[in-house]
């Protein structure tokens, strides 16, 4: 077994981020073919056109980076192979698929295959037995792109569940998925080249972008309804009714459980119903009132003006047409 650690060069990060804007990567592919829980086509468009908000690193992301090396070392030991933990700030591309790019976690020199490392909180029904290809589709899309740009015929996914259960999964090159990614990439790239917004979806990325881009409406601008918009209105109304029904059923189920529990705080092996830690709240409005009362009217106005700003009111979508 030989483990080679290639240190990430932080100086390359900015250039790597910029280069990624010109390629569809493994994480992008899952979004474009509709299998990613982290957004869709719109999120990729925001990223490639430089409109995406800066990525805020979550605790899960930080943990994934910290444990990546350990997971790959465990893989190298189990496989008894020569494994290189590659520089993640290096985007691999190829002439055969000029729009695709991939940043690898590891490279198995003995088998000449990419190895991806994942730190997963728990193993749920989406994950099968070790050495199968039964794992989430969005990770398959990531490995598929890695195989396409490296020319590998299969790839490994090294996964640590709950910080203690280590699994290795294996996936063969999937021609059908590869074509699906290529078709989605070709269709998508027209939006980037023409700086044309793709169809809005329900992701957080889309919602946040709309809030920022269209924060203030023009009172003198109106549009006529289209068939597509009228259909969207019907979908919206149905979704609201479904949501209301779901909230009622949720409240009913919770109330049944709580009534059964009464003063008890635990149903053995099922759930808990406990008080959170006591919180301390200061009524700053009252504090300010007392403080202002000791000041002159002129000083009060100066103080209030110094900390007063005008914020545009939120745009609220209200349905005025009957039947929606």
Q: How would residue 323 be classed by pLDDT, with cut points 50, 70 and 90? A: low
Instruction: Enumerate the domain spans of the chain.
Output: 2-193, 227-269
What pLDDT score was predicted for residue 172? 98
Arithmetic mean of pLDDT, 230-247: 94
What pLDDT score was predicted for residue 132? 97
Q: DSSP string of 250-269?
A: HHHHHHHHHHHHTT--EETT
Arithmetic mean of pLDDT, 109-115: 98
Flag whether the pTM goes above 0.85: no
What pLDDT score was predicted for residue 300? 87
**Token pair recorded at residue 45:** 């468009």
What pLDDT score was predicted for residue 2? 87
Does residue 246 surpass a pLDDT of 90? yes
User: Who has greater pLDDT, 201 or 57?
Assistant: 201
Main-chain phi, psi angles of 125, to 5 degrees: -70, -15
* CATH 3.90.1300.10 is the classification of domain 2-193: no
Does residue 239 surpass a pLDDT of 90? yes
294-318 tens-digit pLDDT: 899 898 898 888 989 988 888 888 8
Smallest CA-to-CA distance from 183 within 67, 29, 308 is with: 29
Query: E strands along 13-164, which residues?
Result: 82-85, 92-93, 101-102, 106-108, 113-120, 154-161
Does residue 102 surpass a pLDDT of 80? yes
What pLDDT score was predicted for residue 289? 86
Arithmetic mean of pLDDT, 213-235: 90
What pLDDT score was predicted for residue 221? 87
173-182 tens-digit pLDDT: 999 999 999 9
Q: Is 158 helix (H, G, I), strand (E, B) or coil?
A: strand
What pLDDT score was predicted for residue 154? 98
Sequence-distant contacts of 66-70: CB under 8 A, at least 24 apart: 67/117, 67/119, 67/160, 68/105, 68/117, 68/119, 69/5, 70/160
d(CA 11, CA 239): 47
How many angstroms separate the most distant Cα atoms in the chain?
A: 81
Least confident range of 159-168, 197-206, 254-263: 197-206
Are residues 109 and 118 in contact, defined by beta-carbon separation less than 8 angstroms? Answer: no
Arithmetic mean of pLDDT, 137-149: 98
What pLDDT score was predicted for residue 324? 64
What pLDDT score was predicted for residue 151? 97
**How does the average pLDDT of the chain come out, rounded?**
92
Q: Is 132 helix (H, G, I), strand (E, B) or coil?
A: coil
**Token pair recorded at residue 163:** 């910080």
182-208 tens-digit pLDDT: 999 999 999 999 999 999 988 888 999
What pLDDT score was predicted for residue 62? 79
What pLDDT score was predicted for residue 269? 93
d(CA 134, CA 129): 7
Arithmetic mean of pLDDT, 262-277: 94
What pLDDT score was predicted for residue 128? 97
């Amino acid at each position: 077994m030989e483990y080679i650690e290639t240190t990430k060069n932080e100086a390359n990060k900015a250039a790597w981020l910029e280069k990624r804007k010109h390629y569809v990567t493994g994480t992008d592919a899952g979004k474009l073919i509709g299998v990613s829980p982290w957004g869709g086509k719109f999120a990729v468009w925001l990223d490639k056109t430089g409109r995406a908000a800066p990525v805020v690193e979550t605790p899960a992301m930080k943990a994934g980076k910290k444990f990546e090396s350990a997971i790959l070392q465990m893989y190298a030991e189990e496989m008894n192979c020569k494994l290189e933990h590659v520089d993640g700030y290096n985007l691999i591309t190829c002439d055969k698929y000029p729009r695709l790019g991939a940043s690898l976690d590891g490279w198995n020199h003995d088998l000449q295959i990419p190895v991806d490392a994942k730190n997963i909180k728990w193993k749920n029904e989406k994950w099968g037995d070790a050495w199968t290809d039964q794992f989430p589709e969005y990770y398959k899309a990531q490995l598929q792109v890695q195989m396409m740009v490296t020319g590998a015929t299969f790839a490994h996914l090294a996964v640590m569940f709950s910080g203690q259960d280590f699994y290795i999964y294996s996936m063969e090159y999937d021609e059908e998925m590869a074509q699906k990614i290529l078709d989605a990439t070709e269709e998508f790239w027209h939006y980037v080249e023409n700086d044309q917004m793709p169809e809005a979806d329900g992701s957080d990325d889309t919602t946040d972008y709309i809030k920022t881009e269209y924060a203030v409406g023009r009172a003198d601008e109106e549009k006529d309804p289209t068939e597509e918009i009228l259909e969207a209105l019907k979908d919206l109304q149905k979704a609201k009714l479904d949501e209301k029904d779901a909230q009622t059923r949720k409240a009913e189920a919770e109330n049944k459980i709580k009534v059964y529990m009464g003063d008890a705080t635990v149903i053995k092996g099922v759930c808990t119903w406990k008080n959170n830690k006591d919180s301390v709240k200061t009524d700053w409005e009252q504090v300010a009132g007392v403080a202002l009362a000791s000041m002159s009217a002129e000083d009060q106005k100066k103080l209030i003006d110094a900390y007063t700003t005008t914020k545009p009111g939120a745009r609220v979508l209200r349905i005025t047409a009957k039947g929606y």
